[in-house]
Amino acid sequence: MYKSPLTLILSESGFRFPQPDFASGYEYPPMVLGNTGSFLSAYGDIIVLIIIMTLTAAAIYRFRSRLFFLGVTLAGLLYFGIVRQGCPCAVGSVQNVLALFLHPEARIDLPVLLFFLLPLAAALFLGRLYCGGACPLGAIQELLFIKRLPIPRTVWQTLTIVPIFYIGAAAAAAWTGAPNIICLSDPFLPVFHAGGVTGMGILTAVFLATSLILYRPYCRIICPYGVMLSLAALFSGKRATITGHTCSDCKLCNELCPADAISPPDNPIDTEEARAKILPLLLITASLMVVLAFAGNLAGRYLSFVHTDVRLNSLIIQQKTESTEVESFLEQGGKPEELAITAGKIKTRFITIMTISGVVAGLFLGISLASTDFRRYRESAQIRQKECFLCTRCMNTCPREKSKKLSEKVI
């Protein structure tokens, strides 16, 4: 019968394998699991999160001020990034929350769960407030960004499938008890938590440098939590607007928006051409689902090696008996036959989830690409809530919005 890796980690003595029995009478010190922090500090983070998201909402919906927004973003970076060293983080908690649904032995602290749920609840009503001001990963990219490198929108739409595979990998890791994939691959963690992750220097440097010319590359291409927030933002009751006046179609906001999240005014006369593309788009979507399902299948085979049991089984198959891991396993009475069964089931779970992720990614990409061929009537430029990071640049660029603020000051 398959045993969860979580139950294999600790035996009754508290160790995965029995420890040596020293004749000298040496006694092992008691093993104490680390404390995540006091009650006050844990819920203090929740209070700060609520305050920062509230201030972000004020910057966008009340003051409509870029300067105010930057101040809140800097505060979020200093507290959650520098003071708290990137933890707690709603992005890293994705796998922990998935484990609640996929693993019977999974447990999660209430503050961690609240930190995951509150930004989603805020997005349902006010948009992606967490992305805008509270997330340290987004804040460091926001503050580093200088000038947008023009990249076709179709390319960005294609890259949006990456977070879907990322969520799939996190779900597979949660189901099998593997390490937290999201935290291990976080390129900004070494910035906030020096020494916490080794071998990430080059990746960190690449993302920091890329953030200068590409707006929030991690948020837009990789972040799994961002996908959840963007979907929640689609149902947002309160929506950010560029101006309260009729749009003059000057396109300044469209040109300045670093996320390319603004749809210009449009007045389609005939949609017959778009309707004629429905069948080809369906065929393309079906093809994408098949291709990406195959890609997910291959990815699942490789990603399963993140689990220690799969790696250990591979070493045994390759007869690398000189490996420390293999020697330890065999000396402690480990049975390769049972390990092979366990590793096989873990690998199957990774392959299954990643294949499903490929199907979902293909469907998502097909719908996303098809949406560009169907035009809708828009009297003025509109912000696409799903893609907007609420950076307020468009509000501070619109000539009519500037005129409105000037008239208010005069009055």
Average pLDDT, stretch 130-158?
A: 91
Cα–Cα distance for residue pair 374/167, rounded to 1 Å: 29
More confident residue, 101 or 140: 140
When pLDDT is cut at 50, 70 and 90, the band that residue 272 belongs to is: low
- Beta-carbon contacts of 113 under 8 Å, excluding residues fewer than 6 positions away, are 93, 97
Average pLDDT, stretch 336-364?
A: 95
More confident residue, 265 or 306: 306
* Residue-wise DSSP of 55-75: HHHIIIIIS--HHHHHHHHHH
CA distances from 224 to 182, 185, 220, 334 (A): 8, 12, 9, 37
Cα–Cα distance for residue pair 171/188, rounded to 1 Å: 22
User: What was the pLDDT predicted at 250?
Assistant: 82
Is residue 305 within 8 Å of residue 178, measured between CB atoms?
Answer: no
The first and second tokens of residue 171, run together, are: 């779900």
Is residue 377 within 8 Å of residue 267, measured between CB atoms?
Answer: yes
What is the tens place of the pLDDT at every residue in 369-406?
777 666 677 777 888 888 899 999 988 888 877 777 66
Average pLDDT, stretch 154-170?
A: 91
User: What was the pLDDT predicted at 359?
Assistant: 97
pLDDT above 90 as % of the chain: 48
Average pLDDT, stretch 276-297?
A: 90
When pLDDT is cut at 50, 70 and 90, the band that residue 40 belongs to is: low
The pTM for the full model equals 0.83
User: What was the pLDDT predicted at 411?
Assistant: 55
User: What was the pLDDT predicted at 152?
Assistant: 86
The first and second tokens of residue 404, run together, are: 């409105």
Is residue 402 within 8 Å of residue 144, measured between CB atoms?
Answer: no
CA dihedral 195, 201, 206, 211 (to 10 degrees): 20
Q: Decide if pLDDT at 223 tops 60.
A: yes
* Residue-wise DSSP of 211-223: TTTSSSHHHHHT-
Q: How buried is residue 405: exposed, middle or buried, by Cβ count under 10 Å (0-12/13-18/19+)?
A: middle
Strand boundaries in 211-299, DSSP class E: 262-263
Average pLDDT, stretch 199-219?
A: 90
User: What was the pLDDT predicted at 239?
Assistant: 86
Cα–Cα distance for residue pair 388/384, rounded to 1 Å: 6
Q: Decide if pLDDT at 344 tops 70.
A: yes
Q: How buried is residue 281: exposed, middle or buried, by Cβ count under 10 Å (0-12/13-18/19+)?
A: middle
When pLDDT is cut at 50, 70 and 90, the band that residue 80 belongs to is: very high
* Residue-wise DSSP of 101-136: HH-TT----HHHHHHHHHHHHHHHHH--HIIIII-H
Among 124-138, 192-206, 324-338, the range scoring the smallest mean pLDDT is 192-206
What is the tens place of the pLDDT at every residue in 246-269?
677 788 888 889 998 888 887 776
Average pLDDT, stretch 70-75?
A: 96
The first and second tokens of residue 168, run together, are: 């799939």
Cα–Cα distance for residue pair 173/137, rounded to 1 Å: 22
Is residue 134 within 8 Å of residue 53, measured between CB atoms?
Answer: yes
Q: Decide if pLDDT at 31 tops 60.
A: no
Cα–Cα distance for residue pair 264/240, rounded to 1 Å: 15
Among 63-77, 123-137, 354-368, 395-409, the range scoring the smallest mean pLDDT is 395-409
Average pLDDT, stretch 45-57?
A: 96
Q: What is the mean pLDDT of the chain?
A: 84
When pLDDT is cut at 50, 70 and 90, the band that residue 328 belongs to is: confident
Q: Decide if pLDDT at 12 tops 80.
A: no
Q: Decide if pLDDT at 10 tops 70.
A: no
Asked if residue 88 has a cis previous peptide bond (ω within 30° of 0), the answer is yes
CA distances from 194 to 71, 81, 82, 86, 204 (A): 25, 12, 11, 11, 12
Which residue(s) pair with 382 in the sheet? 263
User: What was the pLDDT predicted at 367?
Assistant: 85
Phi-psi region at 251: left, alpha or beta (left = phi > 0; alpha = psi -120 to 50): left
DSSP 8-state code for residue 58:
I
- Map out the domains of the chain as residue ranges: 44-264+384-406, 271-377
Is residue 378 within 8 Å of residue 265, measured between CB atoms?
Answer: yes
